[in-house]
């Protein structure tokens, strides 16, 4: 990662149900519009990763759940900033996600993730998930 760029910390949720992963599509007015991602958001100053993830999930998919221990952390350089993303398992406890501040949501089987276009950091997560399934 570059020293000159600002660093942004974000968190994403790995939410699984019946062998499928929940992914959301970025709205047209967002940075990297139309790309798919694991639901989550930016960590605010003074906020823990778990608190940021719970807040972001409520905004994006209308519900939150139990945040588990960190699964992985990925780093990716974009134009103008470096992103550090923590990925956490989240159990929605039977709650049903809805479209909140995202354009769309989908439950996708692991082998179908490669058919979607993701931002760089999320693509790293997809790649790691696909490798761990081997």
Instruction: For residues 55 and 49, give the distance between their C-alpha atoms in angstroms, rounded to a whole number.
Output: 10
Instruction: For residues 21 and 109, give the distance between their C-alpha atoms in angstroms, rounded to a whole number.
Output: 6
Instruction: For residues 63 and 119, give the distance between their C-alpha atoms in angstroms, rounded to a whole number.
Output: 23
Residue 115: the pLDDT is: 93
Q: Report strand pairing: 6-14 vs 81-91.
A: parallel
Q: Which range, of 75-79, 81-85, 86-90, 126-130, averages the lowest pLDDT?
A: 126-130
Classify residue 115 by burial, with Cβ atoms within 10 Å: 0-12, 13-18, 19+: exposed
Cα dihedral 124→126→127→132 (10° resolution): 130
Residue 58: the pLDDT is: 98
Q: Which residue has the tokens 């778990």?
A: 50
pLDDT tens sequence across 34-76: 999 999 999 999 999 999 999 999 999 999 999 999 999 999 9
Give the global pTM: 0.91
Structural domains for the chain = 6-132 (3.90.79.10)
Residue 129: the pLDDT is: 85
């Amino acid at each position: 990662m570059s020293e000159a760029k600002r660093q942004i910390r974000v968190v994403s949720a790995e939410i699984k149900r019946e062998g499928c992963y929940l992914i959301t599509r970025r709205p047209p007015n967002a940075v990297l519009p139309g790309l798919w991602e694991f639901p989550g958001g930016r960590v605010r100053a003074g906020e823990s990763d778990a608190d940021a993830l719970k807040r972001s999930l409520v905004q994006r998919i209308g519900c939150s759940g139990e945040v588990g221990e960190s699964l992985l952390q990925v780093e990716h350089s974009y134009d103008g900033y470096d992103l550090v993303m923590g990925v956490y398992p989240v159990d929605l406890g039977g709650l049903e996600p809805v479209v909140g501040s995202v354009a769309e949501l989908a439950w996708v089987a692991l082998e179908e993730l490669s058919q979607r276009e993701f931002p760089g950091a999320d693509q790293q997560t997809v790649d790691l998930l696909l490798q761990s399934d081997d």
